[in-house]
């Protein structure tokens, strides 16, 4: 029996009003980065984690303004806490899949297809079949794990702006990993929240709803984006030089 976690979320201040939040007890493969951004009139939350433990309660001290919760895409490791927030946004292509939520949401290694096992074995948490090394609550059981369905309050499209008063993020539609994957781009600072379109680790373009053709176009678009820092959906953040290297590596790997 797993012990109950003292604390489910960790966080780190990243500068420019950005706080990185993550779930240390999850297997890294299903542990997404959650980003909180402070604005003058409103806050932005990029992705919401697994939903294993309430997120809103855990970040209540960070949030003093209305908060726009944006999911970069439909995959379960990014949308678990979305239902907790008053303003819920996602690309219009994936918004309907949030209610009812019927996507794959494995919490055991044995639930994944064999081809995923090598990634899961990169687990440093010591967990075996369960993809966590602590329970989120005393009465939690793996069999009950589900993503709470929710209706979006705003359906995003490429070029939309999420305005926080003194700062604004542009929605970039970045299909490939999934059809409605998006990034959020702040031209003034060069901060780019990229979701699972690009991060510094193995990229997935072979999932049931992935498209390599779309991914190639997304990567070519990203290559010219004048970023200062990329805060991805997984793995540590990186700068423009590394982004271009990841793009070029992807393009080469797919013969483009």
234 binding Zn ion? (CB under 5 A): no
Radius of gyration of the chain (CA): 17
To Zn ion, the closest distance from the beta carbon of 62 in angstroms equals 24
The 10 Å Cβ neighbour count of residue 31 is 20
Binder of Zn ion out of 196, 203, 218, 246 (CB under 5 A): 196
Q: Which residue is nearest to Zn ion (CB)?
A: 75
Alpha carbon 13 to chain centroid, angstroms: 18
Using the minimum distance from each CB to Zn ion, give the nearer residue, 75 or 88. Answer: 75
CB of 141 to Zn ion, least distance (A): 25
Q: Which is nearer to Zn ion, 19 or 181 (CB)?
A: 181
CA gap 8, 135 in Å, rounded:
9
| CA dihedral (169, 191, 79, 141) positive or negative | negative
Q: Which stretch binds Zn ion (CB under 5 A): 35-43, 97-105, 189-197, 246-254?
A: 189-197
In contact, 52 and 66? CB cutoff 8 Å: no
Backbone angles phi, psi at 161, to 5 degrees: -120, 135
In the complex, least distance from residue 229 CB atom to Zn ion, rounded to whole angstroms: 21
**Closest approach of Cβ 69 to Zn ion, in Å?**
17
Count CA atoms closer than 13 A to 232's CA, side-chain side: 20
DSSP string, 133-152: SSBSSTT--GGG--PPP---
Cβ closest to Zn ion, residue 73 vs residue 135: 73
**Taking CB under 5 A as the rule, does residue 105 contact Zn ion?**
no
Q: Is 75 or 135 the residue whose CB approaches Zn ion more closely?
A: 75
Give the residue with the Cβ less far from Zn ion, 39 or 232. Answer: 232
Residue 61 beta carbon to Zn ion: minimum distance, rounded to whole angstroms? 28
Tokens encoding 11: 């966080």
Kindly tell me which of 38 and 75 has the beta carbon lying closer to Zn ion: 75
By rule CB under 5 A, what count of residues binds Zn ion? 2
| Residue from the set 38, 75, 88, 135 that interacts with Zn ion by CB under 5 A | 75
Q: 208 or 255: whose CB is closer to Zn ion?
A: 208
Torsion angle in degrees (nearest 10) through CA of 217, 221, 224, 226: -150
Rounded to a whole number of angstroms, the minimum distance from the CB of residue 187 to Zn ion is 25
Chain centroid to CA 52: 15
49 three-class SS = coil
Q: Which stretch binds Zn ion (CB under 5 A): 5-13, 74-82, 182-190, 234-242?
A: 74-82
Which parts of this chain interact with Zn ion (CB under 5 A)? Answer: 75, 196
């Amino acid at each position: 029996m797993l012990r109950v976690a003292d604390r489910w979320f960790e966080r780190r201040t990243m500068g420019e009003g950005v706080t990185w939040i993550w779930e240390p007890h999850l297997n890294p493969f299903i542990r997404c980065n959650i980003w909180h951004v402070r604005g003058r009139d409103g806050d932005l939350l990029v992705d919401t984690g697994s939903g294993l433990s309430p997120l809103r309660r855990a970040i209540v001290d960070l949030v003093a303004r209305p908060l726009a919760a944006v999911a970069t895409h439909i995959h379960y490791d990014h949308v678990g806490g979305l239902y907790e927030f008053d303003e819920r946004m996602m690309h219009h292509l994936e918004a309907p899949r949030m209610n009812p939520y019927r996507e794959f949401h494995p919490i055991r290694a044995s639930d994944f297809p064999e081809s995923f096992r090598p990634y899961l074995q990169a687990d440093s948490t010591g967990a075996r079949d369960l993809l966590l090394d602590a329970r989120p609550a005393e009465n939690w059981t793996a069999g009950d794990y589900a993503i709470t369905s929710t209706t979006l309050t705003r359906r995003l499209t490429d070029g939309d702006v999420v305005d926080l008063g003194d700062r604004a993020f542009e929605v970039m539609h970045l299909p490939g990993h999934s059809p409605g994957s998006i990034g959020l781009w702040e031209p003034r600072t060069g901060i780019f929240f990229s979701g699972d379109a690009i991060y510094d680790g193995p990229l997935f373009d072979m999932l049931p709803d992935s498209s390599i053709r779309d991914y190639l176009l997304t990567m070519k678009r990203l290559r010219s984006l004048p970023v200062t820092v990329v805060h991805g959906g997984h793995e540590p953040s990186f700068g423009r030089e590394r982004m271009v290297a990841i793009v070029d590596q992807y393009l080469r790997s797919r013969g483009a």
